[in-house]
Amino acid sequence: MTGPHPRRDEARLSAWVHGHVQGVGFRWWTRSRALELGLTGFASNRPDGRVHVVAQGSREACEKLLELLRSGETPGTVDNVIADWNEPDAPMTGFSER
């Protein structure tokens, strides 16, 4: 095997957030929480009204971000969050709003 091996506690969270989450500061809020948790990635508005959140870092921090997304304390109204877990992908820097 060649190439870098991800640490066992590293993860990549892909979360699709459904609800009234565009135009309400949701991506900014998500970015702030992710940076506080030491995660990299992005929050992106999708044409269908969802926000796609991709976060990479420690599994524990990703799980905490997912908890926050589902907490009911976000801007706007979150109806549902569909989460998918993967191994970390190519390194990302910072956390951007797209």
Domain ranges of the chain: 10-87
pLDDT band per the 50, 70, 90 thresholds, residue 17: very high
Over residues 54-82, the mean pLDDT reads 97
pTM for the predicted model, two decimal places: 0.91
What pLDDT is recorded for position 4? 53
Catalytic residue among 12, 27, 31, 33: 27
- Does 46 qualify as catalytic in the annotation? no
Is 21's pLDDT higher than 50? yes
Is there a contact between 34 and 41 (Cβ–Cβ < 8 Å)? yes
What pLDDT is recorded for position 82? 98
Catalytic residue among 7, 8, 45, 80: 45
pLDDT band per the 50, 70, 90 thresholds, residue 26: very high
Which helix (H) or strand (E) covers residue 33, if one does? helix 26-36
Q: How many helices (H) and strands (E) does the chain have?
A: 2, 5
- Does 33 qualify as catalytic in the annotation? no
Mean pLDDT of the chain: 93
Under CATH, which number does the domain 10-87 receive? Answer: 3.30.70.100
